[in-house]
Amino acid sequence: MRRCAVFGTGMWGTAMSIVLADAGNDVVMVGRRQEQIAAITADHENAEYFPGVRLPDTVRATTDPAEALAGAEFAYLSIPAQTLRANLTAWKDLIDPDTVLVSLMKGLEVGTAKRMTEVIREVTGFGRERVAVVSGPNLSPEIARRQPAASVVASRDEDVALRLQAATNGPYFRTYTASDVMGVELGGVVKNVIGLAVGIADGMGFGDNTKATLITRGLAETARLGAALGADPYTFSGLAGLGDLVATCASPLSRNRSFGVHLGRGLTLEQAQAEVKQTVEGVKSCEAVLELADRHGVEMPISETVVAIVHDGRAPAEMLKELMTRPLKAERHGH
Ligand SMILES: NC(=O)C1=CN([C@@H]2O[C@H](COP(=O)(O)OP(=O)(O)OC[C@H]3O[C@@H](n4cnc5c(N)ncnc54)[C@H](O)[C@@H]3O)[C@@H](O)[C@H]2O)C=CC1
Ligand SMILES: O=C(CO)COP(=O)(O)O
């Protein structure tokens, strides 16, 4: 039986562990809190996140990264993006020479604006055949309850993508391979920022026309950034682009969208943070997205609006007015 390590015992690490076990893998989760780890192994439940959802018997947990990594074919990383560099620096010498690192994260590193696979390669020195990403419309509460969904497994190495597809595909989780690692990652990162924007609009009391406009123009600015960086534009109409954007912007289960709703209703950043306790990647990553856009001369007006509201304390109503009164232009693909 194939061994998979999953770093992170939060919502997505737990849901992916269920997927991997149901797909026939032996799964070892790595967490930090002893009592949570013990409960996952003994009670087969991660009650903090998914009470009543039974984890398969082939899932166990440890606080010891070396134990989880021993013999692991794939190590999935599901921790907050801003903690990846420090954690991986501590773990890298424990990784077997054949293990492939798989990012499940949807954030950019603040300060460097690097994607997670870039951070992984920089910290470990691994070649591209040892790094991959999984991303798609995968709200963890639905996946943990085994509702059907699909996702993209991307690696620059075709053999790795196929092996990862085989390992990750299961009865209710259908995986598609891709080679456009950058596009798949950018889709997952920027959809969180657009999810915040849609949430803000919702919190301000606007309806579906406003939200559809933000989703569509949000996808346009995502694709514009991707094209400038060298990603495949078609990736953004796939599961890791449009698919994830729709799931996030439509669902009350999305933390990014919910966070936006609080801001739209007039809560401050701190008040919204107190309401949404789990990782909300868009809050930090939106600044890094803009940095990347600036570096490449790409206009991202919705992301700019989100940064202004989230980080500069600008009023949502004032920012919306600015967004609506930008210079008029033609709607063309890639613009
Ligand atoms: N929840 C979801 O539906 C999905 C989440 N993701 C991505 O997965 C990543 C993780 O998100 P979630 O599991 O939802 O977040 P979460 O907040 O539920 O869990 C985060 C986990 O990381 C751990 N953690 C926090 N700080 C840490 C640190 N400094 N060092 C080591 N571990 C630390 C926490 O203890 C927790 O186990 C994010 O990048 C998110 O965008 C991707 C797809 C779906
Ligand atoms: O990435 C996700 C769904 O694909 C989860 O979105 P949130 O992080 O906004 O909850």
Model confidence pLDDT, tens digit, residues 39-96: 999 999 999 999 999 999 999 999 999 999 999 999 999 999 999 999 999 999 999 9
Whether the model pTM is above 0.90 = yes
- The reported pLDDT for the residue numbered 237 is 97
Nearest ligand to residue 48 Cα: 1
Known binding-site positions for NADPH: 12, 32-33, 49, 106, 140, 255, 281
Which residue intervals of the chain bear CATH 3.40.50.720?
Answer: 3-179
Give which of 53, 54, 2 is closest to 24, Cα–Cα. 2
- The reported pLDDT for the residue numbered 291 is 98
pLDDT digits (tens, 9 = 90+) for 124-161: 999 999 999 999 999 999 999 999 999 999 999 999 99
Cα 74 to Cα 5, 25, 202, 268: the distances in Å are: 6, 10, 39, 40
Q: Nearest-5° angle of CA 30, CA 10, CA 253?
A: 160
Active site residue 277: no
- The reported pLDDT for the residue numbered 194 is 98
For every residue of the chain, which 3-state class applies, written as one string? CCEEEEECCCHHHHHHHHHHHHCCCEEEEECCCHHHHHHHHHHCCCCCCCCCCCCCCCEEEECCHHHHHCCCCEEEECCCHHHHHHHHHHHHHHCCCCCEEEECCCCECCCCCCEHHHHHHHHHCCCHHHEEEEECCCCHHHHHCCCCEEEEEECCCHHHHHHHHHHHCCCCEEEEEECCHHHHHHHHHHHHHHHHHHHHHHHCCCCHHHHHHHHHHHHHHHHHHHHHHCCCHHHHHCHHHHHHHHHHHHCCCCHHHHHHHHHHCCCCHHHHHHHCCCCCHHHHHHHHHHHHHHHCCCCCHHHHHHHHHHCCCCCHHHHHHHHHCCCCCCCCCCC
3-179 adopts what CATH topology? Rossmann fold (3.40.50)
Distance 197 CA to ligand 2 centre (A): 14
- Angstrom distance (rounded) from CA 249 to CA 135: 16
pLDDT digits (tens, 9 = 90+) for 4-36: 999 999 999 999 999 999 999 999 999 999 999
| Confidence class for position 1, pLDDT limits 50, 70, 90 | confident
In whole numbers, what is the pLDDT of the chain averaged over residues? Answer: 97
- Return the best residue to mutate from 134, 143, 194, 254 for the ligand 2 pocket (most ligand atoms within 8 A of CB): 254
Q: Is the pLDDT score of 333 beyond 80?
A: no
- 140 CB near ligand 1 (under 6 Å): yes
- Angstrom distance (rounded) from CA 173 to CA 180: 20
| Confidence class for position 190, pLDDT limits 50, 70, 90 | very high
What is the second-level CATH architecture of the domain 183-324? Orthogonal Bundle (1.10)
Distance 127 CA to ligand 1 centre (A): 25
ipTM of the complex: 0.99
Mean pLDDT, residues 243-264: 98
- The reported pLDDT for the residue numbered 335 is 61
Which residue intervals of the chain bear CATH 1.10.1040.10?
Answer: 183-324
